[in-house]
């Protein structure tokens, strides 16, 4: 039996946005990194590496959840995936 992989279920922009909304509610940078990694794998890590200027290896490490990536990396990835962050009152 294969382990669950969220990347297999991120088939539309709506799915991805809903996934990120849920993840952001936890206020956990590592969980955000893992979710961005799931989205990157669903869309193609090679293309993300090209758009961010980061190596695939660096992206896999940064988005694995094993360490908390720096803000610069998170923002590059979010932008390269075609998303923008917005702020609303809690």
In a domain, 2, yes or no: no
In a domain, 7, yes or no: no
In a domain, 63, yes or no: yes
Q: Which residues contact 62 (CB under 8 A, 6 or more apart)?
A: 33, 54, 69, 73, 77
Q: Look at residue 26 in the predicted model and tell me its pLDDT.
A: 93
Q: Look at residue 85 in the predicted model and tell me its pLDDT.
A: 85
In a domain, 29, yes or no: yes
In a domain, 74, yes or no: yes
Terminal Cα-to-Cα distance of the chain (whole angstroms): 40
Count of beta carbons in the 10 Å neighbourhood of residue 81: 18
What domain count does the chain have? 1
Range of the domain at 22: 13-80
Each residue's pLDDT expressed in tens, for the chain with a length of 90 residues: 878 889 999 999 999 999 999 999 999 999 999 999 999 999 999 999 999 999 999 999 999 988 889 999 999 999 999 998 888 887
Q: Look at residue 61 in the predicted model and tell me its pLDDT.
A: 93
In a domain, 47, yes or no: yes
């Amino acid at each position: 039996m294969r382990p669950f992989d969220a990347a297999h279920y991120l088939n539309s922009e709506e799915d991805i946005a809903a996934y990120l909304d849920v993840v952001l509610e936890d206020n956990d940078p590592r969980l955000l990194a893992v979710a961005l990694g799931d989205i990157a794998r669903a869309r193609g890590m090679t293309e993300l590496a090209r758009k961010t200027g980061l190596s695939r290896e660096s992206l896999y490490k940064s988005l694995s959840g094993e360490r908390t990536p720096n803000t610069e990396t998170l923002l590059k990835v979010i932008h390269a995936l075609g998303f923008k962050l917005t702020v609303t009152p809690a």
